[in-house]
Structure formats: C-alpha cells, structure tokens
Amino acid sequence: MPTVSMRRVVITGMGAISPLGIGAEALWQGLREGRSGIGPLRHPDAERLRVKIAAQVPAYFDPAANIDERVLPMLDRTSEFALHAASEAITQSGLDFGRNELGVRTAVVVGTGVGGETTQDEQSKRLYGENSQRAHPLTIVRLMTNASASQISIAYGLRGPTYAVASACASANHAIIQAAMMIRYGMADAAITGGTEACITYGALRAWEAMRVLADDTCRPFSVNRRGLVLGEGAGIFVLESMEHAQARGATILAELAGSGMTADATDIVMPSADGAASAMRQALADAGLTPQDVDYINAHGTGTLANDATETRAIRLAFGAHADRLAVSSTKSMHGHALGASGALELVAVIGALRDSVVPPTANLDQADPACDLDYVPNVAREMPVRAVLSNSFAFGGLNAVLALKRAP
C-alpha cells in the first residue's frame, strides 16, 4: 500500500460560552483564578427538585447579541451556545470564508450528548402536561442532534463534511478527533469543531437525580468527601487547520493537536474501566510521538463521583508508570461543572491556556485527597510551571474513552 503523508494539525481559534462567563478568555481566567461557576439552580421548577445547584451560563447571556433575529426562532439553546462560540473562534482565527473556496475544504463536526434537550423538554410539557394537540412547528429543526453543526455550516457557507457526534460525555473529544483526522489525511484544510450542551432541564435533572450521582453541595473531584457531579452547560468551539495552511496565511497558532486515542471498555454501561482509559491515553501518546516523560499536565475527566475519580487515578498510573507521580493533574469540572457532551471542549480551553501561559488550573474544592486518589491534583490554587505537552481525558457512559494530546504552539 502507498504511504500516506499525514499533515500536522494546529488550533488557530477558540470560543466558549460557559458558567464562568461569555468568551474563551473569561472561561480561562476564571479557571486559573480557581473561581467556581457552580451556584443555586435557576429554573422555574427548582422547588420540585431535590438537587438545588448547577453550573449554568450567566443569566446575562443574550442569544440575540450576534445571531440574526431571523435565525433565532429555529435554535435550541444548544445551537445558540454553539453559534456564539463559533463566532468567537472564527473571528480569532482570522479565516474569511467569503473570498475564496476555503468553505468547500472546511469541515464542521460538533459533539453533543443530548442535543436539543431544552426543546424536547418544553414540547413534552406542552403535549403531556398542558394536553396540547400540537407541537411547535420548528420542534424538529431545533432538537435534532445535528442542528448545531448544520447551523454553523449555514452561517458561514461551509460546504465540507458536516455532522454531529454523540457519545455522551466524550462527544466533544470524539468530534475534535474526527475533525483533526480529516485534516491530517487531506479531506479538509480547516475544521470548525468542539462541543455544545444545554441540559439543565426539569426532565434531565430528574433523570440524573434518579441515578443518585449528583452532588448536593459542590463538585469535589478526588476529595475524600466528594458527593458526585454537578451538571453544567455551555459550548467550546475551535478552528483547526493544517499547519501548512495556517503558516501560509501567517495565522497565530494557539497549540498543536498532536495526537489522540479512542477506546471502548466493552465491560459495563456505567462503571468505568481503568484498562480502557489507560489504553486510550497510551494511544494518544503514541499517536503524538510523545513519551510519558514528555507530558507535564493532564486535564482529568474528574467528575467527582466515587467510581470515576479512583478509576481514573488507576488508569493514569497504568499509562504513565513512575512518571505519574511527577504529573500535574487537575479537574476543571470542579469549576465549570459537568457539561456532558461539551465538557471536553470547555476543558480544551483550559489545556490551551495551560500551554500558552505555563499555568496549570487547579482542582477546586479539594479539601482532603481520597487515599485511592494519590496523584498531584493541584489543589485549589493554580500553579505556574513549564507545560510542554498535555493530555485531556474524556470518559463517557457506555465505556467510551477519547483522549487528546497537545503540544505547545510551534
């Protein structure tokens, strides 16, 4: 078989909507300050729910700020987040899709765990709670899983491969990996990719309550007194390009997306496997041409549940051996919550910030480490340190693992 020459992939733009504010820099500054976006639940049915906290996008978020008013009626909150984040990322990248044929060579791949959940919840209430005989006529175009990807494609005239990825909490990382692969193998020169989620609805909260994995105080990853995860929402969208394409136009490169690893545990629908997670990390290292000793920081999946945090600790030790004790490891979900299919995208903002500024964000609320969680979790205060290469872990229900490996901008 002929040898395929793989192109290097770089990140030239990022945008975010998160519980820590509007914009990627607001998210990063909040994380490096150790500031929490978790607060009292804002929801009209909050009194009917047991759990009273969530990590929600600030109430001052205005969907109409930079979205055409003619488009707004067709958007679920998930797509509103994605379009805002995409606008920021594309503006930062400096790409102009209107003056050349780049739109034909640009892919759009967006991850989401549940898609248009707000629309689904509202229409279910209308049909079953209010006994309405009709759903809203735009229900389908709002709630379909691919809506965010398609809306980005339409907004910027992007005619390359466009689709959604849905793999629960690994959705964003899986989407980013898919986009990077298309650039590596010459199917696209650029890609708009990331993840988005708006899952703070009555139905979703009730369902998560039933699983008994939601914390009722705050998110405390790796802490001996951790009580579970805190649901979050938001979006992170990124512009990826081949390095040649970015350098030819003089773009500012934020980081290199050097490799990735993807595995399935094939064991249990909800109980994570250290072997499966470790295998994904090893694959990401090999794909990026990194040794364990090259990595300085891991942004952990770190949900704050009893099972995940101890299992992830074992997985990191399996993948890194003795070097695990020299790694800085932190979970930013302690501040932006668990945004399901958007989590990996919010965490990629943290990873890029760590590489760019040589600052590792902390694990907030870490009072006392669990003896089963015995790594350096950067408790409560950000750490200035050299950061050459990083991994970003996303592990999903269903036993699905997706790990990104990044290097400092060349």
Residues with catalytic roles:
169, 301, 338
Supply 225's token pair.
Answer: 């007194």
Helix 171-184 vs helix 343-357: angle between axes, to the nearest 10 degrees? 60
The torsion angles phi and psi of 206, rounded to 5 degrees, stand at -60, -40
| Contact status, residue 213 vs residue 206, Cβ threshold 8 Å | no
Return the DSSP state at 126: I
Supply 304's token pair.
Answer: 């704050």
Handedness of CA 306, 310, 311, 313 (dihedral sign): positive
How far, in Å, are 202, 313, 389 from residue 41 at the CA level? 11, 30, 36
- Report residue 158 CA to chain centroid gap: 22
How far, in Å, are 20, 65, 69, 158, 195 from residue 60 at the CA level? 12, 11, 18, 30, 21
User: Nearest-CA neighbor of 25 among 80, 88, 68?
Assistant: 88
- Report residue 116 CA to chain centroid gap: 17
Supply 260's token pair.
Answer: 């990735």
User: Nearest-CA neighbor of 179 among 72, 96, 106?
Assistant: 106
User: Nearest-CA neighbor of 196 among 81, 87, 88, 305?
Assistant: 81
Largest CA distance in the chain: 63
Supply 113's token pair.
Answer: 């765990």
Handedness of CA 260, 265, 271, 275 (dihedral sign): negative
Return the DSSP state at 110: E
Supply 318's token pair.
Answer: 């399996």
Length of the chain: 410
